Amino acid sequence: MSDIISKWAPPTENDTASYIAAVASAMGVNATDPLNMSDAGTVEALLAAIITHENGINPYSAATISQGLALAA
């Protein structure tokens, strides 16, 4: 997971270590755990955690995130 966050929130622009820690904590995983990005539930949890970190809240329901992923596929 840390590789995903590091790519899109690089240390030159972010406190990447804190970002990674916050997302990992929200997902209930370790920062170094590999994520199964083929699992919709994992991707939805990752997106919800990133949205919350970026905005302070997540205004989107799980259904809205799931629908967005379906439309993106």
Which pLDDT score is estimated for 1?
Answer: 86
pTM above 0.85, yes or no: yes
Q: Domain coordinates of the chain in residue numbers?
A: 2-72
For the chain, give the mean pLDDT.
95
Mean predicted confidence (pLDDT) in 17-42: 96
d(CA 35, CA 22): 15
d(CA 51, CA 69): 14
